[in-house]
Amino acid sequence: RKEVEQDPGPFNVPEGATVAFNCTYSNSASQSFFWYRQDCRKEPKLLMSVYSSGNEDGRFTAQLNRASQYISLLIRDSKLSDSATYLCAVNRKAAGNKLTFGGGTRVLVKP
């Protein structure tokens, strides 16, 4: 089983709609969780950290389910500019703080 798995998509989303997708992780010792956004051939840009209580940043909501070992990202009122690949990343401080990334979920927002 891969350490971090994501549905590669693409998720084709009408502008203004809501889209949600998950990321599963296999290592129960994972401590910190993140969503990054990556545009084509660019660097991962931090979208949000994911806290145990869940957190929201504008139109973006992230949840963590430790029991089932997954995190989720929900995007409300999708904009054309939300089209990107969303990378899930998990961190273990004991492993030199390394981030392990999923393969990404591609989201295409269409007018």
Partner 1 sequence: EPEVTQTPSHQVTQMGQEVILRCVPISNHLYFYWYRQILGQKVEFLVSFYNNEISEKSEIFDDQFSVERPDGSNFTLKIRSTKLEDSAMYFCASSGSRQGRGTDTQYFGPGTRLTVL
- Residues of this chain that bind partner 1 (CB under 8 A): 31-32, 34, 36, 38, 41-46, 49, 87, 89, 91, 93, 95-104
Least separation in angstroms between residue 106's CB and partner 1 is 12
Least separation in angstroms between residue 69's CB and partner 1 is 18
Cα separation, 111 vs 109, in Å, equals 7
- Residue 86's CB is within 10 A of a number of other CB atoms, namely 25
Integer angstrom CA distances of residue 23 from 8, 15, 76, 103, 110: 10, 23, 18, 10, 23
Nearer to partner 1, 30 or 78 (CB): 30
DSSP element (H, E) containing 48: strand 45-50
Nearer to partner 1, 46 or 80 (CB): 46
Nearer to partner 1, 42 or 110 (CB): 42
Least separation in angstroms between residue 74's CB and partner 1 is 21
